[in-house]
């Protein structure tokens, strides 16, 4: 955890099973406001399951995940907006414009009838436009989501998360479908949002070089357990070996 920064997100003894097999095993760590935590690990390590648990989309058998001391499973109604999710496949509505997709991030802030009728206030629309501007897509506000490139669609998804005005953003492999240049831009954007807005960011990744370049801290997972948790600057080949094994660590580095 960043020195001097209060913990926003607390993971305590989280255990999850599927079909009698442990997927997460007694995980515990904190993430502070303004901190970018990258989750690394081989396929099947439990990264996606952990992200889903933090987002409240999956319920662990044991343990708790707390946001400012409150169990995330107890967040109801508009309180759910405090945790935003950025998905690998963007999860946009293809036929809607970039602006309309970003406005979906305001649903937790407005009366339900406004959301159903898509009757957002001028204030909400201006906020959504500001979020698009922050991700560099103000000129694409009226463009259909399905006509945008993959990198642009992920930026719209991040703008939607921003529109929620969350305390935590969890991102599940947000650059898995993108080329290296777009990937770098997305991670730089997420890092800047975390630092400038004081948002706790948890991001699962496969690429060691990107985690080292953009994260503040790296947690390495193997077989459902966190086996390393170090500042990104201290993540070297010996640490990678503890996560991936000698052969794969060398290939990933």
In the chain, where are the structural domains located? 7-230+246-252
Burial group, residue 215, by CB count within 10 angstroms (0-12, 13-18, 19+): buried
Token pair belonging to 214: 């953009």
pLDDT at 214: 96
**Alpha-carbon gap, residue 46 to 204, rounded angstroms:** 10
pLDDT at 118: 66
pLDDT at 112: 58
Q: Which whole-number Å values give the CA distances from 138 to 21, 102, 155, 193, in the listed order?
A: 46, 11, 11, 17
pLDDT at 8: 87
**Alpha-carbon gap, residue 37 to 217, rounded angstroms:** 5
Q: Helices 150-163 & 180-197, crossing angle to 10 degrees?
A: 10
3-state secondary structure (DSSP) of residue 67: strand
Q: What is the pTM of this model?
A: 0.89
| pLDDT tens digits in sequence order for the chain, 253 residues long | 444 456 689 999 999 998 888 999 989 999 999 999 999 999 889 999 999 999 989 999 999 999 999 999 888 777 888 999 999 888 899 999 999 999 988 876 555 545 544 667 899 999 999 999 999 999 999 999 999 999 999 999 999 999 999 999 999 999 998 999 999 999 999 999 999 999 999 999 988 999 999 999 999 999 999 999 999 999 998 889 989 875 444 445 4
Q: Which CATH architecture has domain 7-230+246-252?
A: 3-Layer(aba) Sandwich (3.40)
pLDDT at 6: 61
**Alpha-carbon gap, residue 43 to 242, rounded angstroms:** 15
Helix (H) or strand (E) holding 89: none
pLDDT at 120: 79
- Could you give the residue ranges of the DSSP H alpha helices within 76-234? 98-103, 112-117, 122-134, 150-163, 180-197, 208-214
User: How many C-beta atoms surround the C-beta of residue 198 within 10 A?
Assistant: 14
**Alpha-carbon gap, residue 214 to 6, rounded angstroms:** 21
pLDDT at 5: 55
Token pair belonging to 235: 């993540």
pLDDT at 85: 94
């Amino acid at each position: 955890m960043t020195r001097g920064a209060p913990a926003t997100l607390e993971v305590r003894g989280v255990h999850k099973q599927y079909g009698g097999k442990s997927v997460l095993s007694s995980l515990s760590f904190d993430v502070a406001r303004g901190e970018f935590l990258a989750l690394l690990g081989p396929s099947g390590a439990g990264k996606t399951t952990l992200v889903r648990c933090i987002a409240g989309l999956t319920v662990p058998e044991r343990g708790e995940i707390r946001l400012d001391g409150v169990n995330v499973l107890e967040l109801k109604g508009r309180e759910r907006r405090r945790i935003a999710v950025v998905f690998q496949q963007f999860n946009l509505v293809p036929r809607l414009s970039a602006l309309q997709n970003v406005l979906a991030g305001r649903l937790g802030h407005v009366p339900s009838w406004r959301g159903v009728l898509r009757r957002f206030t001028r204030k909400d629309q201006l906020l959504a436009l500001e979020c698009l501007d922050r991700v560099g897509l103000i000129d694409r506000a009226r463009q259909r989501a399905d006509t945008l490139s993959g990198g642009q669609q992920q930026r719209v998804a991040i703008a939607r998360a921003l529109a929620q005005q969350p305390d935590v953003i969890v991102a599940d492999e947000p650059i898995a479908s993108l080329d290296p240049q777009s990937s770098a831009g997305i991670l730089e954007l997420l890092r800047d949002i975390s630092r400038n807005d004081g948002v706790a960011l948890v991001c699962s990744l496969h690429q060691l070089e990107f985690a080292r370049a953009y994260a503040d801290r790296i947690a390495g997972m193997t077989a459902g357990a966190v086996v390393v948790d170090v500042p990104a600057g201290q993540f070297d080949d010996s640490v990678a070996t503890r996560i991936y094994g000698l052969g794969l660590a060398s290939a990933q580095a």
